[in-house]
A and B are shown apart, each in its own frame.
Chain A
Amino acid sequence: MRPDDLLQPTPRGLYCPPADVYIDPVRSVERALITHGHSDHARPGHGAVLATAATLKIMAIRYGENFAGTVQAADWGRPVTINGVTFTFHPAGHILGSAQIAVSWKGLTIVASGDYKRGRDPTAEPFEVVPCDVFITEATFGLPVFRHPDPAAEVAKLLASLRLFPDRAHLVGAYALGKAQRVMSLVRAAGWDQPIYMHGAAEKLTRFYEAEGIDLGEVRLVKAADRKALGGAVLLCLPGSMKDVWARRFPDPVTAFASGWMRVRARARQGGVELPLIISDHSDWDELRETIRETGASEVWVTHGQEDALVHWCGTVGLKARPLRLVGYGEEGEAEPADLAPASTEPAA
């Protein structure tokens, strides 16, 4: 049997013919397995959805209770069998509830890892290495230039700026699901004990994280506060809102942005970011390679991102590898900052 008989790329997403299910389909299908709640992986309108309890709750928050015909919660580590194929969900460490899905059939195991990271993050279940024959990996930061620094040191830059400019509001661009809560948690770990403010669009998801037992300290909504009085405050904003009028009403704001893309200067400048914070929920180059090795997989499929370099590296260490060239991923969670970050504020030449 070839691995392709068990899982194969299609325009709708990864398809498993013997079980007749899709993993993270980009269009609506009869039966979908979802790795995590970011909107490019979790879309509404499927007939039946199998995902972790947290992912199901996130989908209900974003799309309403009737986001799918039927839903089933997958427990961590407990196999679910469909037409003789077993599917097991293991933590991916990307955001709360994010899973890798191990697919086993007739002695062959393929792990579809979704998006994942290895670094410590109290807002997500820690990544688990799942031994497999074929490892399907993302490659958002699959280039040797991407080495994420210690996130604590990045948050220290933010706190240093707050000390230097105590009268300026510090707007931190971060995606509403996952990144915003992780940044809040990092800011708390760095000892910041004043209230953290957030954009209204992040409210439901942040309250959900809190309800799941993640302590983020006092988090207030921006709209409830007098914006003029927010000099020296930390404000979590959605990337899209940073170029709105919304962001201009704060006292002399400093524009920060939390993303792995901030490693590349042109990327930060293209987004008009003044204080880039290199904080990512994806694996960096070292973590991708380390994870591939640890799974013991003899074959690697690369879904989306900078697949060329990772496929090349696999070849240099004797691993069979190929890009899947799936379309439609990488739009949320760590989307390209020019789409979402504030417009350039370069003065006219």
Chain B
Amino acid sequence: MNRFAALLDRLAYEPRRNAKLALIADHFRSTPDPERGFALAAMTGALSFRNAKAGLIRGLIAERTDPVLFGLSYDYVGDLSETVALMWPAPEGPARNEPPPTLSEVVTTLASTSKTALPRILAGWLDHLDETGRWALLKLITGALRIGVSARLAKTAVAALGDRDPDEIELVWPGLKPPYEELFAWVEGRGPRPEAIDPAPFRPPMLAHGIEDEDFAKLDPADFAAEWKWDGIRVQAAAGTLPDGRRVARLYSRTGEDISAAFPDLAEAMSFNGAIDGELLVLREGRVQSFNVLQQRLNRKQVTPAMLADFPAHIRAYDLIVADGEDLRDRPFAARRALLEAFVGSIGSPRVDLSPLVPFDSWDALAASRLDPASAAAGEDAEAIEGLMIKQLQSAYMPGRPKGLWYKWKRDPMAVDCVLMYAQRGHGKRSSFYSDFTFGVWRAGPSGDELVPVGKAYFGFTDEELGQLDRFVRNNTINRFGPVREVVHSATEGLVLEIAFEGLQRSTRHKSGVAMRFPRIARIRWDKPPGEADRIEALEVRLKD
């Protein structure tokens, strides 16, 4: 466990992909089976411990610490496992010289431990590990490593052990199970290639660069096609048939996580042999629903029939990567597009359709479509359009983010000046700073103008600005409600935040009657007196009836 903990610790701080790769490969080289195999399983998300829930960990720490001190600590650290790892008190009584558990011991014990025996076993392990070991153990069993390592990266590190292509690992992967001894034996040249060719492996998607104003002068519109950028989730839908005739259909996220389990309705519709690059959307009566609606179907462990009926999932196809066993990635976009149109037609399912091209003859014409997608044939679906994708007609399908081939051109956000009202400490990357900000705009109240909250923003600022905002909150607190701080907000004192957002809807859940989509802090207006911030009327005029 200590070696694995040290690896996770290093990975958690290492931002560079190549350095991460070197660290993981080094771990695989220097760690024996089955320890390294379980490490690989942990990084590819192949382990799950049904009985180890956050509630269990909360229970253990509650028996050992003051609840108020735990609450304050958790609020500060912003991560349950880390808080518990740091606060865990040294065991009472004489020190025992038992070695800390190995990763294999943890994995195999958890697989065979009843729910009732688990708390005692877990507490014993925590007693014998140091802060880093405790953190790694708790992260592992709660399934939230968050070390910036995708399954693909871990597999790439395996491939590096034997100069193999990561795609070769993907092909044999579905037939393998932790601790992957035959996989290591094969890449290290000590054993045969594992059987089981995957008919639906993940292939890393091609990504786009944001287009800059100065790019247009350099680009000839005749060399490019444009299509809508839908506000859903980019997916790869891969399907095929195993040698024994069984069908395989998988839906992968952009990073190669298999999210098929949450979308049985789509798996059924994926009757093809090939791989489509597209957007996962929810459609009701042919209309694309907002991202908020789609979100309600994500991350569900169980998908109920009601869910399936209320949130019908849909793939809107952008590109064709493989068709009937043929890899099309080296062909130009224009050729793939023609094949895609025929391919989608042959699937014949209402669940899979084609993302239409947006015709244009000049960048100005395209700009007009971007400004008003509804008039540019997007109709009522315009609300679900994030912007445009501009793709070079000759571009091969290249994994990663190659330069000069694909561009994204998002719609301009709307912006409004709001006054900071409340702040709360954030979680994750922003934890321990006041980083969740509630802001308001002015409206007429019974006793003069008053601020009414219109939204909450968690990002949009730089690390340096975060430090400044955090200090402003700490130095200008006028009230505390548990973890929430109310900061000074009058016409003359307080802080104005320029909030950018993507859309506005009526809301009965918000006091102000409006809800913002994707609000974030565009600028901190240290210069602006709060009395000059916007009024609710400025938002109401933008509401669509």
Contacts and interface: CB of A to CB of B under 8 A. Distances in A.
B78 interface: yes
B interface residue count range (under 10 / 10 to 19 / 20 to 34 / 35 or more): 35 or more
Given A265-B12, A312-B68, A145 B467 contact: no
B326 to A, nearest CB: 31
B461 to A, nearest CB: 10
Interface string A312-349: 11001000000000011000000010110001111110
A264 B463 contact: no
Contact of A263 (B65, B68, B86, B429): B86
B467 A339 contact: yes
B69 A270 contact: no
B429 A270 contact: yes
A146 B87 CA distance: 8
Contacts of B506: none
Interface in A96-155: 143-147, 149
A327 B77 contact: no
B353 interface: no
Nearest to A309: B72
A339 B464 contact: yes
B142 interface: no
Contact of B463 (A143, A147, A338, A348): A338
Given A339-B467, A343-B463, A343-B464, A143 B12 contact: no
Given A147-B86, A268-B13, A306 B462 contact: no
A348 B408 CA distance: 15
Interface string A251-295: 000000000000111111111111110000000000000000000
Given A143-B76, A264-B76, A309-B73, A338 B86 contact: no
A147 B87 CA distance: 9
B240 to A, nearest CB: 29
A308 B468 CA distance: 22
A264 B77 CA distance: 7
A263 B430 CA distance: 15
Contacts of A309: 68-69, 72-73
Contacts of B13: 265, 268-269, 273-276
B433 interface: yes
Mostly helix, strand, loop or mixed at chain B's interface? helix
Interface string A142-176: 01111101000000000000000000000000000
Given A266-B428, A339-B464, A312 B15 contact: no
Contacts of B355: none
Contacts of A271: 463
A254 to B, nearest CB: 10
Contacts, number: 100
Which residue, of B65, B76, B82, B466, has the highest number of chain A Cβ atoms within 10 A?
A: B76
B31 to A, nearest CB: 17
Contact of A312 (B69, B77, B428): B69
B44 interface: no
Given A268-B13, A306-B72, A338 B77 contact: no
B263 to A, nearest CB: 23
Given A264-B431, A267-B432, A347 B17 contact: yes
Interface string B376-396: 000000000000000000000
A312 B12 contact: no
A345 B432 contact: no
Contacts of A147: 86
Contacts of A339: 464, 467-468, 471
B87 A144 contact: yes
Contact of A266 (B69, B430, B462): B430
Interface in B45-70: 65-66, 68-70
B538 to A, nearest CB: 32
B369 interface: no
A316 B77 CA distance: 23
Contacts of B116: none
Contacts of B66: 312-313, 316
Interface in B75-97: 76-79, 82-83, 86-87
Contact of A347 (B12, B15, B73, B466): B15
B16 interface: yes
Contacts of B462: 343
A271 B463 CA distance: 8
B14 interface: yes
Interface string B405-434: 000000000000000000000001111110
Contacts of A143: 69, 72-73, 76
A145 B15 contact: no
A273 B12 CA distance: 10
A265 B82 contact: yes
A144 B65 contact: yes
Query: Closest 10 CB pairs between A and B?
Result: A339-B467, A145-B86, A266-B431, A338-B467, A309-B72, A345-B15, A145-B73, A338-B463, A144-B87, A143-B73
28 contacts: A144-B69, A144-B70, A145-B73, A145-B82, A149-B131, A264-B86, A265-B12, A265-B79, A266-B429, A266-B432, A267-B432, A269-B429, A270-B466, A272-B15, A273-B13, A275-B13, A308-B72, A309-B72, A312-B72, A313-B66, A313-B69, A316-B66, A336-B467, A336-B470, A338-B433, A338-B466, A343-B463, A347-B17
Interface of B: 12-17, 65-66, 68-70, 72-73, 76-79, 82-83, 86-87, 131, 135, 401, 428-433, 462-464, 466-468, 470-471, 475
Interface of A: 143-147, 149, 263-276, 306, 308-309, 312-313, 316, 327-328, 336, 338-339, 343-348
